[in-house]
Structure 1
Amino acid sequence: MLAEFCGWGYAVLWGVSFYPSLILNWSIKSADSISLDYLVLNICGYLCYSCSIFQMFFNSLVRQQFQLVYDGSLPLLTLADLFYAFHGLLLQCILLTQVIFGNYLWKFKNERRSYNVDKFTKVIILAFACYLLIIYVGFSTNKELELCLNLATLKIFASLIKYIPQVRFNMRRRSMYGISRIQVYLDASGAILCLSEFFIKNNLPITEAINSNRGKVGIAVITLLFASIFIFQFSLYTDQPPELKKNDIELGYTKI
């Protein structure tokens, strides 16, 4: 019962955490605070994770291979994980429309002049594709399972890499304007519940359990780490756009 509560609790918190950014962008009529590199990597990560979770749930061959490798156990996944993955992918795509088509579809006043992603981001995406091809071709047995597990691994790397441009973007602007505190707190709380569910439900040796559920555990750890970094940045930087003085207007944008 407690594990089920933690499972749905993290899915709901992480699901809800996507909305403050969308609402915040709508309220300030701008999505310029969102790093495009962050967003592209995030979408790639969610696409990989959604494919992995879907196969783990509905592909009988993958589930049979999982049981053979992990002593009859099945993945520690529930419908909450499936909901989180596909819901997250959908909302990140909506956020992308705010960044790229905000002035046309959302009636924003975006001032972004370039929509080119960094060369580093392009290299990362190409490396992901090559990595998956090597995994699928290189394994002679259980290749479907290995592909699913490594799709989840790529989500971990995407989660690790995607936050770095946003952290640097905040540092360069020396402002947290357009970044929602609520989203950060929801991310941190969801990560704690996700890890709690994992430890409650697990009946395998810890190393095997982490390896077989690497996507879920890895995402939770990285999310908690960077949520802590963003909370620290909130204490360092202003919530106002750099061009406005504190006494010009009471913004309060991060209080939604």
Structure 2
Amino acid sequence: MAPAIRETSSVGWNVVSNIIGWTYFLSWSVSFYPQAILNWQRKSVQGLSIDFLYYNVLGFLCYSIFNVAFFFSETIQEQCKNHSSGNLVRANDVMFAVHAFLISSFTLGQTFIYKAKAQKLSTTATVLISIPIVGAGIGLLAVEFNGILWIDLMYYLSYVKLAISFIKYLPQVWLNYKRKSTVGWSIYNILLDFAGGALSIGQLLLDASISGDWSGVSGVRK
């Protein structure tokens, strides 16, 4: 394929990537509001798992730090170049992550207003939340004493977010099962979250394919 044709094709795919990125941004961003609105309408969080909310806040805190660091930090960007690790973070990633953290925190805050007496953070969730926080603290010390790089700590936070994404809905599923009801839990949260996740993964893979550099997906340095 001639260079001019390849360049035109690349520009076209970049446009597609941008469209996918902003679509998933809207889908994921909107997904948080039905639950917050439902809580406000019912003046209750009965039927909503407290564990899920804490997992969500921690996950999006990690995700926000990761995206903000990769997008704004010259140190992280330089380490990306030096170690051939692709930086695929875009403006919509940063906007989504910070917005998600803020609205998740707002929804968690609703539990302190509408909270039922029986609802509290479980021992399991307390342990699972404490472990990555302690790990991040150890990572900061390792960076301070030159044991690891900042980019390594950022990838650690991304793995925490990934792990939380796998487990965060389990407490809600278990609560629904015990109550034999989904009253108090917005189905639109799940539908929009799933759609946004699929589009996000699609954009990540497309960007890696366009650049020919898959290290931004795997986190494995060449």
* TM-score, length basis structure 1: 0.73
Task: Give the aligned partner of residue 55 of structure 2.
Answer: 41
Task: Give the aligned partner of residue 217 of structure 2.
Answer: 210
Contact 2:31 2:189 in 1 (8 A): yes
Asked if residue 28 in structure 1 is aligned to residue 42 in structure 2, the reply is: yes
Query: Whose helix fraction is larger, Structure 1's or Structure 2's?
Result: 2
Contact 2:205 2:217 in 1 (8 A): no
Q: Name the count of aligned residue pairs.
A: 202
Task: Give the aligned partner of residue 199 of structure 1.
Answer: 205
Q: How far off is 1:126 after superposition?
A: 1.9
Task: Give the aligned partner of residue 164 of structure 2.
Answer: 158
Of the two structures, which has the highest relative contact order with CA contacts closer than 8 Å and spacing of 6 or more?
2
Q: How far off is 1:183 after superposition?
A: 2.0
Contact 1:21 1:183 in 2 (8 A): yes
Paired residue secondary structure (2:184): coil
Amino acid at match of 1:42: N
Q: How far off is 1:135 after superposition?
A: 3.2
Q: Tell me the C-alpha RMSD between the 2 structures.
A: 2.0
What are the residue-to-residue correspondences of 1:13-92 with 2, within 5 Å? Answer: 13-70=27-84, 73=86, 75-92=87-104
**Same amino acid, percent of matched pairs:** 28
Structure 2 Cα separation of the partners of residues 200 and 24 of structure 1: 36
Aligned equivalent of 2:190, options 184, 187, 208: 184
Cα deviation per residue 1:113-142 (whole Å; 9 max; x = unaligned)? 145311111211221122223334446465
Cα deviation per residue 1:205-225 (whole Å; 9 max; x = unaligned)? 54x342239xxxxxxxxxxxx
**Change beyond 3 A, Cα 1:173–1:114:** closer
Contact 1:136 1:146 in 2 (8 A): no
Paired residue secondary structure (1:101): helix
* TM-score, length basis structure 2: 0.83
Q: How far off is 1:193 after superposition?
A: 1.3
Structure 2 Cα separation of the partners of residues 86 and 29 of structure 1: 26
Task: Give the aligned partner of residue 229 of structure 1.
Answer: none
Structure 1 gap ranges (5+): 103-109, 214-256
